[in-house]
Amino acid sequence: MPPLPVNSSKPTPKTTFSIRASWLAAISLAVFVFMYLPILILAFYSFNASRFSATWEGFSLRWYSTLFNDSRIFAALQDSLAVAILAVGVSAVLGTLMAVGLARYRFWGKGLYRGVSYLPLIIPDIAIAVATLVFLASFAIPLNLWTIVASHIVFCLAYVAVVVSTRLSGLNPHLEEAALDLGATPTQAFLKVLLPELMPAIVSGCLLAFVLSMDDLLISSFTAGGGANTLPMEIFSRVRTGVKPDINALSVVLILGSGVLAFVAEYIRYRGDQGRSV
């Protein structure tokens, strides 16, 4: 009896995997183009000599010069830096202590406290902004730069605590016990043993929180009052009448600054993980 013919049209597992990989690569490329092409276009038009973003009239650095001579932009930047530095400084201390307390100690209501502490990570900014404004109005607290700082601490604290908690989960819990057995006090064990191990995560979390604080618009707008004006608020007030080339230039500067901070945070986290694995 002659052998049955082999069906050559049936795809092999290798061919199926190749087709699937090609589709995944195409989808990934489309996502990256959708995400980053607008940024490239914005950067391109920031060097446009024209006053109108949609019309190209030649290469020029005029709008960067205009940007760096804009006193209102620098005043808003000063307010944003003050808010971010103060909020991140307080969050670094409280967030680290919160993460250590949740990881190392047992107390009544620990699960509820953990859930409430991390709520700012998932609650929409508009909800936090409205809730904060209602709270401040209930106690007749005047809105100013300090109310922005207080509202930024709410979400910066959660981000710092999450990053530090991730680092804590990978540390050997017996390090502190060994320090205590060798005669160190609990404070000395925390400062000389645990804190140096947590420092890469603390710095990384602070840089992340700093970028988020500098970028915030909604919460700042609801809690600023009339005496404070952060950089996102200043940008929003200008783009309501149309995007000008100097705003394009400012956006490029902010993107580069955020990218540098993100790179530094990732590098610090990577070096910390490398040092822990050695």
Ordered by where they begin, the domains of the chain are 70-242 (1.10.3720.10)
pTM of the full predicted structure? Answer: 0.78
Name residue 48's beta-bridge partners. Answer: 59
pLDDT per residue as tens digits for the range 235-250: 888 887 777 778 888 8
pLDDT per residue as tens digits for the range 57-106: 778 888 888 888 888 888 898 999 999 999 999 999 999 988 888 877 77
**Cβ–Cβ < 8 Å for 125, 218:** yes
DSSP class of residue 7 equals -
pLDDT of residue 195: 84
Please compute the mean of the pLDDT values over residues 204-218 and round it to a whole number.
89
Name residue 59's beta-bridge partners. Answer: 48
In 3D space, the residue among 209, 93, 100 whose CA is nearest the CA of residue 155 turns out to be 209
Q: How far apart are alpha carbons 51 and 61 in whole angstroms?
A: 12
Task: Please provide the distance, in angstroms rounded to a whole number, between the alpha carbons at the two ends of the chain.
Answer: 67
pLDDT at residue 126 above 80?
Answer: yes
In 3D space, the residue among 129, 157, 155 whose CA is nearest the CA of residue 143 turns out to be 129
Helices 71-104, 145-169: axis angle to 10 degrees equals: 40
Tell me phi and psi for residue 244, to 5 degrees. -95, 160
Q: How far apart are alpha carbons 235 and 253 in whole angstroms?
A: 13
